[in-house]
């Protein structure tokens, strides 16, 4: 099976702009979770989508949003970018059942100038 | 949120067996223990998951004592390419993964 794919892999934006990141889960997986990784805060959970519904949400401001499509692909949007949003954004997919393993994509490196 | 404690860093020579211990005193009945490996600027890679006793796969073994308050990841005969950060997590149900700082393993030639 193909793994989790994320596009784009690298992105450079300026403050105030918005950005959309995309994640395609492993075939058959219905759950997609998003994480932000920075040197200072480490890996932090953003939100999870299951069957097109947000099921869990982390402690991030409303500028961070997401959605999931009927084919389980997911997008994450960050509006009004700030310098502190520079990070590696990771997407993970799983079947969504109890204690199921999450498999991560390669990440999107976002740099905000 | 569930948290684990593991050493911040470890060094090992190539060819040695490496054991990384993780403490999870507040593990719940439904929690599984999962280990991930992460290289710089890449997504975490699933290594192994277990609930109790011993689990082994092609890359590692996971030892979990009866009280489940700790676990040990064992990497046999490490090579330079095993240099990475290793994360120990507890996860159950559909709750989000909570990552700590992990253990930075450095393998020396």
Model confidence at A33, pLDDT cuts 50, 70, 90, reads: very high
Alpha carbon A76 to its chain centroid, in Å, reads 5
Identify whether the C-beta of residue A60 lies closer than 8 Å to the C-beta of residue A11: no
A30 touches chain B (CB under 8 A): no
Per-residue pLDDT tens digits for B19-78: 999 999 899 898 899 999 999 999 999 999 999 999 999 999 999 999 999 999 999 999
Residue recorded with tokens 């390419």: B81
Peptide bond into A8 cis (omega under 30): yes
- CB B88, CB B20: distance < 8 Å: yes
CA distance B88 to B35: 5
Tokens standing for A22? 């995309």
Q: What is the pLDDT at residue A2?
A: 80
Residues of B with CB under 8 A from a CB of A: 30, 32, 34, 36, 41-46, 49, 87, 91-102
Q: Is the pLDDT of residue B4 over 70?
A: yes
* pLDDT surpasses 70 at A1: no
Phi, psi values for residue B81, rounded to 5° = -70, -5
Name the pLDDT band for B95 (thresholds 50, 70, 90).
confident
Rounded to a whole number of angstroms, the distance from the CA of B98 to the nearest CA of chain A is: 7
- Mean pLDDT computed over A20-38: 96
pLDDT (mean) for A46-73: 95
| Torsion, Cα of B86, A26, B54, B71 (10° steps) | 30
């Amino acid at each position: 099976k193909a793994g989790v794919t994320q596009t784009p892999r690298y992105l450079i934006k300026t403050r105030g702009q918005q950005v959309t990141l995309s994640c395609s889960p492993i075939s058959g997986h219905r759950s997609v979770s998003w994480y932000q990784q920075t040197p200072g805060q480490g890996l932090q959970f953003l939100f999870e989508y299951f069957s097109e519904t947000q099921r869990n949400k982390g402690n991030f401001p409303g500028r961070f949003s997401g959605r999931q499509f009927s084919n389980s692909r997911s997008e994450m949007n960050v509006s009004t970018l700030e310098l502190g949003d520079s990070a590696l954004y990771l997407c993970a997919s799983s079947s969504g059942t109890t204690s199921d393993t999450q498999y991560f994509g390669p990440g999107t490196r976002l740099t905000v100038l | 949120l569930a948290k684990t404690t593991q050493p911040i860093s470890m060094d090992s020579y190539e060819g040695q067996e490496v054991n990384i211990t993780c403490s999870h005193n507040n593990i719940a009945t439904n929690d599984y223990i999962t280990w991930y490996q992460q290289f710089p600027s890449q997504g975490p890679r699933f290594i192994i998951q277990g609930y109790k006793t011993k689990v082994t796969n092609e890359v590692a073994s996971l030892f979990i004592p009866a009280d489940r308050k700790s676990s040990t990841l064992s990497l046999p005969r490490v090579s330079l390419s095993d240099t990475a950060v290793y994360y120990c997590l507890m996860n159950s149900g559909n709750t989000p993964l909570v990552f700590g700082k992990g253990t930075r393993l450095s393998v020396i030639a």
